[in-house]
Amino acid sequence: MTSKDVKIHIIGAGVSGLAAAITLKKAGYNAHILEQSTTVGGRVKTTMNGSMKLDHGFQVLLDEYPAAKEFLNLDSLNLVKFSPASIVFIDGKKHLIGDAQRDMSFAWSTLIAGVGSVSDKWKVFKLSRKLKQKNLIDIFNSPEKTTLDYLLDYGFSKKMIDCFFKPFYTGIFLETELQTSSRMFEFVFKMFSEGNATIPAAGIKAIPEQMAGQLDGQIKLNTTVKEVIADKIYLENGEILHSDYTVIATPADVLVPNLPESGKEWHSVQTLYYDTDEHGFDQPIIGLIAGEDCLSNNFHFLNDVFENHPKVISVSVVAKHNLTKDQLEERVRKELIEQANIKAGDLIKMMEIKKALPTFDSIQYAMNPTETQLTQNIFLAGDQLSNGSLNAAMLNGKAAAQAVISNIENGIFV
Ligand SMILES: Cc1cc2nc3c(=O)[nH]c(=O)nc-3n(C[C@H](O)[C@H](O)[C@H](O)COP(=O)(O)OP(=O)(O)OC[C@H]3O[C@@H](n4cnc5c(N)ncnc54)[C@H](O)[C@@H]3O)c2cc1C
């Protein structure tokens, strides 16, 4: 058997598993991906509803992610850029706050926006300059505290935190108390300052689809793995596959016997799509609802993002509540009108993503290849190993693949 004959399987065709397969393919190894669902992409999904592009949860690609530049052809994704600004609604009043370093036209509205003091806005400018100079290694080696403590220690006022940072980062971290690590805050803030939040013109699913297009026929959909023991993969349909190396690109504790349960908790989100007669904002921009006790956190118009798209509003609800679906639909509709003077029509779809983002005690940038090896035959990937982002998912897939390649090329045949 030559090193090229080794049997390599990857479990999961999310962006992490796809990045692992691409890395292996570039090195000349043909891995087979086993995916339980009917499509590639895992959490990165878009459902078409007629001509409507309904992403599974509001999700953006930050085009400065190092992994995005490595694994994606950004030009052919036809990325639609969100404006580097937000429209904040506080008690029915509208405030435009934007990054004047990127677009001077935001300077005046940002300065006068009732979203914090002039000193707060100066601090945002200073922080952005500081984080542009701080490299990723330093960010992920910095001592961790909660994002809330970080912002308070930086001197931001309660108003600035409540009216801007809370709704903006709740939409990203999918938790309402800014308890996520300051490392993640610095990383995301840096990515936003240096690049753009984008969505492919075809919807977020274009990302995994483009990655899958770099592989040739190596993905088996509708194939659920039940268990992985040493060099055997047990499928739910009773088949047993021999696998010299297996990359598990999804939480492994349910697949590998005797692994301690990770006990990992996940942040969830509900996304509500309404049709509307409203025109939109004439540009892709995120609306934030900073009203006290509002469940609606952030929203945008799909017709601002996608060309020739029907008029649709997407609203994210992150806060915990006990409302039924009907009650939530009504509550969000009411909040949109009261807080933002936006009239939502019929509900098109409500999506609940229970396991949207993994939680962490400590955030890392990405795994080193050697850290991904669980046993002689089994390697781990997925965002849940280091931080909940497309960047980490792809880099962890790459790290696991590099570890497999290094095992093979160092003659560690199993
Ligand atoms: C609502 C939402 C918003 C987000 N927003 C952003 C954002 O704005 N920016 C950002 O960078 N990231 C965001 N993320 C995070 C990003 O989507 C994830 O980090 C990334 O998709 C994780 O990829 P993954 O491959 O590690 O995992 P997954 O996408 O979960 O892939 C795992 C795959 O394994 C498959 N699988 C599981 N078990 C089995 C089995 N037994 N047999 C076969 N197959 C199996 C699953 O079906 C799935 O396809 C968001 C996520 C969500 C849900």
**Contact yes or no for 20/399 (Cβ under 8 A):** no
Closest-CA residue, ligand 1 atom 52, reads: 356
CA of 382 to the centre of ligand 1 (A): 8
Residue from 247, 250, 363 whose mutation best tests the ligand 1 pocket (most atoms within 8 A of CB): 250
Collapsed DSSP state (helix, strand, coil) of residue 40: coil
Helices 182-194 and 118-133, interaxial angle, to 10°? 90
The pLDDT value given to residue 2: 61
**Measuring from atom 41 of ligand 1, which residue has the nearest CA?**
225
d(CA 291, CA 393): 34
Query: Distance between CA 205 and CA 203 in Å, rounded?
Result: 5
Q: Which residues contact 85 (CB under 8 A, 6 or more apart)?
A: 96, 97, 98, 99, 103, 106, 110, 285
Distance 349 CA to ligand 1 centre (A): 21
What are the residues whose beta carbons fall under 8 Å from the beta carbon of 379, sequence distance 6 or more?
245, 246, 247, 248, 372, 373, 400, 403, 404
Does the beta carbon of 249 sit less than 6 angstroms from any atom of ligand 1?
yes
pLDDT, residue 260, reads: 81
- 217-229, pLDDT tens digit by residue? 899 999 999 999 9
What pLDDT shows up at residue 35? 98
Expressed in angstroms and rounded, the spacing between residue 381 Cα and the centre of ligand 1 is 11
Q: Is residue 71 a contact partner of residue 207, using CB atoms and an 8 Å limit?
A: no
Radius of gyration of the chain (CA): 22
Candidate of 38, 59, 63, 174 to mutate for ligand 1, largest count of ligand atoms within 8 Å of Cβ: 59
How many Å apart are CA 249 and CA 93, to the nearest integer?
A: 45
Question: Quick one: pLDDT at residue 264?
Answer: 84
Distance from Cα 96 to the centre of ligand 1, integer Å: 32
- Residue located via tokens 């499928």: 235
Using the 8-state DSSP alphabet, how is residue 324 labeled? Answer: -
Question: Domains of the chain, with CATH numbers?
Answer: 3-45+205-261+361-409 (3.50.50.60), 78-200+266-358 (3.90.660.50)
Distance 41 CA to ligand 1 centre (A): 7
Q: Is 342 in the pocket of ligand 1 (CB under 6 A)?
A: no
Positions of the chain with pLDDT under 50: none
